[in-house]
Amino acid sequence: MNNGRATADTPPEPGWSSLDWQAPWLQPYRALGLQVSALERQGLAMPDLLNRLGDCGRRFVPQSALPPGEAYERFIARTGCIPTRENMHDGLNGLVWQRFARSKARLNAMQAQAIEQAGGVGARRGPLRDALTLFDENGAVLLAPDALWQALQQRQWQRLFVELRPLWQQAQLIVIGHALLEKLITPRKPITAHVFCPAQPWPIVDNIDEVIADALDAAHLAGKPFTPLPVLGIPGWCQGNQHVSFYDDPDVFRSARRPQPS
């Protein structure tokens, strides 16, 4: 098990204070980030540090609190406690819990229920648990005008990022997946989010957490209603994308699959 400590073969993980809290993908977490960077200097264990950020309706506890053989998601649902390792992956998960508590609670409730209905974790997750895990780890929510959504769903990258570029000033991509946040500590062009669109009128100004939580419907999610988005293509997310040629990379900005002839 990864305990978050560096070995002779792995470099030490970055600390909270080394993260760029001005990065656009960290915007929803910026206030929490400043708090956690200050708390880090006190030498607190990760669960204690996250608990100091406020009450998200759950308690962060050491990973050792998770009984052998019990599913992580069911333990959280049963006890209200989140087992947390001493690494950035789990730390970022805690940060998302603190910022989007209702959405994370909704995800956890659906995960725990799916495990119970399946009679345990099992060898296969099934379509719903696959989708929930994908969103929890690598998901993002796009709040944007319809024109941007249509271009994204059709993977019309030049239209999305060049022709409609001014519309991005009215849009917001909210990164929910903690593994995606972890990847973005070292930004790379191929990093891709699985984007979810809440079925709500746009623009959404307030109660974003509530909107996301209410949109997480089990039947809908089981169909994996996600659209891939290379996030560094978003205007303002990467200096290099000011040049149109940035998007001329078919390995990153892939065309939509054509339906197979019947």
Give the tens place of pLDDT for each residue, 70-119: 999 999 999 999 999 999 999 999 999 999 999 999 999 999 999 988 77
Residues 189 and 228 in one domain: yes
Residues 124 and 141 in one domain: no
Query: Is residue 84 one of the residues assigned to a domain?
Result: yes
Query: Is residue 11 one of the residues assigned to a domain?
Result: no
Residues 167 and 183 in one domain: yes
* Mean pLDDT on 204-211: 82
Tell which of 93, 128, 163 closes a domain: 128
List residues bridging with 230 in a β-sheet: 192
Residues 202 and 235 in one domain: yes
CA distance 151 to 156: 5
Residues 224 and 188 in one domain: yes
Query: Is residue 52 one of the residues assigned to a domain?
Result: yes
Residues 60 and 147 in one domain: no
Query: Is residue 260 one of the residues assigned to a domain?
Result: no
Tell which of 108, 128, 148 closes a domain: 128
Q: State the residue range of the domain holding 102.
A: 24-128
Residue 129 pLDDT > 60 = yes
Residues 121 and 149 in one domain: no
Tally of domains within the chain = 2
Distances in whole angstroms, Cα of residue 110 to Cα of each of 90, 180, 182: 20, 21, 24
Query: Is residue 122 one of the residues assigned to a domain?
Result: yes
Tell which of 67, 96, 128 closes a domain: 128
Residues 123 and 188 in one domain: no
Nearest CA to 113 among 129, 97, 93, 131?
129
Sign of the alpha-carbon dihedral angle for 106, 1, 20, 251: negative
Residue 205 pLDDT > 90 = no
CA dihedral 140, 97, 35, 195 (to 10 degrees): 0
Give residue 207's pLDDT.
86
Query: Is residue 9 one of the residues assigned to a domain?
Result: no
Residues 140 and 242 in one domain: yes
Query: Is residue 238 one of the residues assigned to a domain?
Result: yes
Query: Is residue 213 one of the residues assigned to a domain?
Result: yes
Residues 155 and 106 in one domain: no
Residues 70 and 108 in one domain: yes
Q: What is the pLDDT of residues 20-72, one digit of tens each?
A: 999 999 999 999 999 999 999 999 999 999 999 999 999 999 999 999 999 99
Residues 231 and 148 in one domain: yes
